[in-house]
Amino acid sequence: MSDSLLPNEPAIRLTVFAGIFVVMALWERLAARRPQAVPRRRRWPANLGIVVIDTLLVRVAFPVAAIGVAQLAEAGGWGLLPALGLPSWAMMVLAVVALDLVIYFQHVLFHAVPTLWRLHRMHHADLEFDVTTGARFHPFEILLSMLIKLGAVAALGAPVVAVLVFEVVLNATSMFNHGNVRLPRSIDRVLRWVVVTPDMHRVHHSVLPAETNSNFGFNLPWWDRLFGTYRAQPQAGHAGMTIGIEQFRDPAELRLDRMLLQPFRRASAAAARPPADRR
């Protein structure tokens, strides 16, 4: 089965992306969690433009991507998981969970290291929070993330199917947990024990540093609870909280050219430091 995945991987990813995007966009229209002061027509062209740039860049820089590395590892018997002698289903589950843990620590690192924060802050500089925010990452951050993922896949010896499942699920949950959608509180309370919900992740996009440095998870919510970075609700409530970064509140920052140049532009000393370092 894995031999047929590599040629079909782009189509699988595109189909899931398009399907989840349409569902989330319609859900946001029908049941928005917060009113948006900055309209979609002002933000979406640049946010979706970043998606196109990131996709093309990854395809050029990493032609075989993570699934190709997984196939090489499988053929060569590399990695930790094959050495454990586990059943195939157990290897798949462990691989998906382990890769999610890697993404959690990567996210924490991108907040803690000033140089990495300069790349990652473009994601946080969006003035609203919706499905397109989930794909708004600087191309250089995407390249670094891919290198980390390739290393993790090789070190784990993750099965090809597990890597595909992880990447598709990560893409889908990123759009889901960035959605400006309303969930009944009772459902959210239960759901956030098994997956990161929009209300849980929205806290992470607060302008307040203490809230920015919480709820780092994308897929699984367990890591934030385990490592003490979980915050249940924003201080001002979801309707009253401010999204974004204090130093990048000019609507002109929503332009694609400004987004791409943001890590390299001179900003205030506070903007250049990770949120945890601001006093």
In a domain, 216, yes or no: yes
Average pLDDT over residues 36-55: 94
Global confidence as pTM: 0.90
pLDDT greater than 70 at residue 126: yes
Can you tell me the mean pLDDT for 69-84?
Answer: 87
Structure confidence at residue 64 (pLDDT): 64
Asked if 175 and 135 count as a contact pair (C-beta separation under 8 A), the reply is yes
Say how many domains are in the chain: 1
Residue 57 placed within a domain: no
Is 37 inside any structural domain? no
The answer as to whether 58 is a domain residue is no
Q: Is residue 132 domain-resident?
A: yes
Give 243's strand partners: 206
Q: Could you tell me if residue 42 is inside a domain?
A: no
52 domain-assigned? no
Helix-helix angle 160-177:88-112, to 10 degrees: 50
- Of 26-35, 66-75, 89-98, which range is least confident? 66-75
Q: How far is CA 86 from CA 3, 95, 159, 163, in A?
A: 21, 12, 12, 17
Query: Is 39 within the bounds of a domain?
Result: no
> Which range of residues forms the domain containing residue 92?
2-30+64-277
CA-based nearest residue to 57, from 122, 187, 147, 153: 147
pLDDT reported for residue 279: 36
